[in-house]
């Protein structure tokens, strides 16, 4: 019973510590409880399920689903089932991690380091999967930019590993012998991680609003704030067209170089009423000639000055399972958890070339995959664009999205513009600070100066390779002792060491 209470309590604490709160000390306490559970791997199922259920509770806001054809009596049970399945997956992953921890002996420093690095490496893999993964790597934000700055070296996976190491040191302080020594180690780790992190933060491009050549993009962001459940109604389509015409004229008068609209804003109509007076990038849908039939794709559509139809585009690559991508869609008549379900993915590259300089774009929760954006920056992207809808989700998801956007800016050392239907529409500096934004859930516009940058971070250059190589190195160092650890059925005494 005590193990159940501990696992559920610290799991709930971890869920609360993740963004939107993003307060690492609370997470370290939750992780100290997780390390305590290494002798009871089954408790990982409870810990992980509770953490994911709390951090992803916004999934319940999908209810009611009657607007996409789901009968109202089935709507809430379906949303609860979706949250339950995702929570169970998180619990299963933590269970496997604790089973490995029990085998290796988590009280050993080298084993603890290996376990932390493996967790971080798995998070990087999950971030590339169809899941909207909000892991420990993003938990340092928005509160601790110095710790999050380590992402410019090894991505979010390295930050996740650091969080676990700090949680392990706190666990050893609370339950191990020689508490004075353990306290000293914890304090040294905190000073080093944050001192060096502050140095990494200061090495990123400064927050002045011009680049080295004094050249800016002048990006006008339109936040339409049109409810997703009504976006295809004739009234709301006319409202968007009116907002778009006003924004294009505003951009022309204010000298904007680019107008940006969020994901899916143009809907199925991709022809403008009048030629664009300034460059326009908007979310919408297009038809692509596939090998067997026409494929519908969600995309960012780029209209050059004077054009009424898009001349280039960037297709969404990472689709929402059961939302945009539906298995066996040809056999099942249900279109999924969106009004335009059944779309097909585009190429994996997130680079959108433009005559004035390319940008790296993430459509909706593609923002969870930092490695794809880093590759686009390495290929020449000068700033980042995050385009999303995020309605009908609550403000909690908006704040989680903002924290992920801050992390992506830190990883790549690039300015980031977020354009979302109901928010968050933001300007974020390369040092992960939100410097401007539009009021959430209100139709509005904002003109953001965006410096074009060329400097690359270590993560831009090498991606997740440093983290993976470090994981491999520690594995090779620990491997000779794994067989000996496997013979021990009980956890060693707390004072055992390498």
Q: What does DSSP assign to residue 319?
A: P
Contact 417, 192 (CB under 8 A): no
What distance, in Å, lies between the first and last C-alpha atoms of the chain? 32
What are the tokens at 114? Answer: 């290996």
Reduced to 3 states, what is the DSSP secondary structure of residue 491?
Answer: coil
Distance CA 39, CA 37 (A): 5
Which residue of the set 79, 279, 324, 364 is catalytic? 364
Which residue of the set 50, 79, 217, 263 is catalytic? 263
Residue 431: CB atoms within 10 A of its CB come to 22
Kindly give, in sequence order, each residue whose CB lies less than 8 Å from that of residue 139, ignoring residues fewer than 6 positions away: 17, 18, 19, 22, 24, 27, 160, 163
Distance CA 287, CA 293 (A): 10
Give the H/E segment covering residue 298: strand 294-303
Distance CA 335, CA 299 (A): 18
CA 129 to chain centre: 12
79 is a catalytic site residue: no
Please classify residue 118 by burial: count the beta carbons closer than 10 Å to its beta carbon, then call 0-12 exposed, 13-18 middle and 19+ buried: buried
CA atoms lying within 13 Å on the CB side of residue 110: 15
Distance CA 16, CA 18 (A): 6
316 is a catalytic site residue: yes
Contact 293, 344 (CB under 8 A): no
231 is a catalytic site residue: no
Which residue of the set 316, 324, 366, 411 is catalytic? 316
Report CA-CA distances (Å) from 478 to 104, 163, 475, 487: 9, 21, 5, 15
Residues recognised as catalytic: 263, 316, 364
């Amino acid at each position: 019973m005590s193990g159940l209470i501990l696992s559920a309590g610290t799991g709930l604490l971890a869920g609360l510590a993740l963004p939107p709160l993003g307060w690492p000390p609370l997470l370290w306490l939750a992780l100290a409880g997780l390390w305590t559970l290494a002798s009871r791997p089954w408790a990982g199922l409870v810990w992980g399920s509770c953490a994911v259920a709390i951090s992803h509770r916004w999934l319940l806001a999908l209810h009611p689903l009657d607007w996409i054809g789901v009968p109202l009596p089935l709507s809430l049970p379906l949303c609860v089932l979706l949250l339950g399945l995702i929570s169970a997956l998180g619990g299963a992953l933590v269970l496997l991690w604790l089973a490995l921890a029990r085998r290796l002996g988590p009280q050993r420093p080298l084993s603890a380091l290996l376990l932390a690095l493996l967790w971080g490496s798995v998070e990087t893999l999950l971030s590339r999967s169809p899941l909207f993964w909000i892991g420990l790597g993003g938990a340092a934000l928005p509160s601790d930019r110095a710790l999050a700055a380590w992402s410019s070296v090894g991505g979010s996976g390295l930050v996740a590993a650091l969080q676990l190491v700090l949680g392990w040191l706190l666990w050893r302080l609370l339950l191990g012998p020689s508490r004075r020594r353990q306290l000293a180690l914890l304090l040294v780790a905190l000073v080093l991680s944050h001192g060096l992190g502050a140095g990494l933060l200061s090495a990123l491009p400064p927050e002045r609003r011009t680049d080295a050549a004094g050249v800016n993009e002048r990006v006008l962001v339109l936040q339409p704030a049109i409810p997703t459940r009504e976006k295809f109604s004739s009234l709301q389509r006319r409202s968007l067209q009116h907002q778009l015409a006003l924004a294009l004229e505003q951009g022309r008068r204010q000298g904007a170089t680019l107008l940006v609209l969020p994901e899916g804003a143009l809907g199925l109509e991709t022809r403008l009423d009048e030629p664009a007076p300034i460059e326009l990038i908007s979310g919408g849908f297009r038809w692509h000639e596939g090998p067997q039939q026409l494929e519908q794709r969600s995309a960012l559509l780029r209209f050059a000055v004077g054009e009424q139809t898009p001349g280039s585009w960037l297709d969404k690559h990472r689709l929402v399972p059961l939302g945009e991508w539906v298995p066996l869609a040809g056999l099942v008549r249900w279109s999924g958890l969106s009004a335009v379900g059944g779309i097909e993915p585009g190429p994996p590259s997130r680079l959108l070339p433009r005559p004035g300089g390319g940008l790296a774009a993430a459509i909706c929760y593609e923002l969870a995959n930092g490695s794809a954006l880093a590759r686009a920056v390495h290929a020449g992207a000068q700033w980042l664009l995050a385009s999303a809808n995020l309605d009908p989700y609550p403000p909690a998801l908006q704040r989680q999205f903002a924290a992920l956007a801050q992390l992506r800016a830190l990883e790549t050392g690039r300015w980031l513009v977020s354009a979302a239907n109901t928010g968050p529409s933001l300007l974020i500096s390369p040092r992960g600070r939100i410097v401007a934004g539009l009021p959430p859930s209100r139709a509005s516009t904002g003109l953001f100066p965006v410096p074009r940058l060329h400097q690359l971070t270590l993560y831009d250059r090498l991606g997740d390779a440093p983290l993976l190589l470090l994981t491999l190195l520690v594995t090779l160092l620990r491997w000779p002792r794994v067989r000996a650890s496997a013979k021990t059925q009980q956890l060693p005494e707390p004072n055992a060491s390498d």
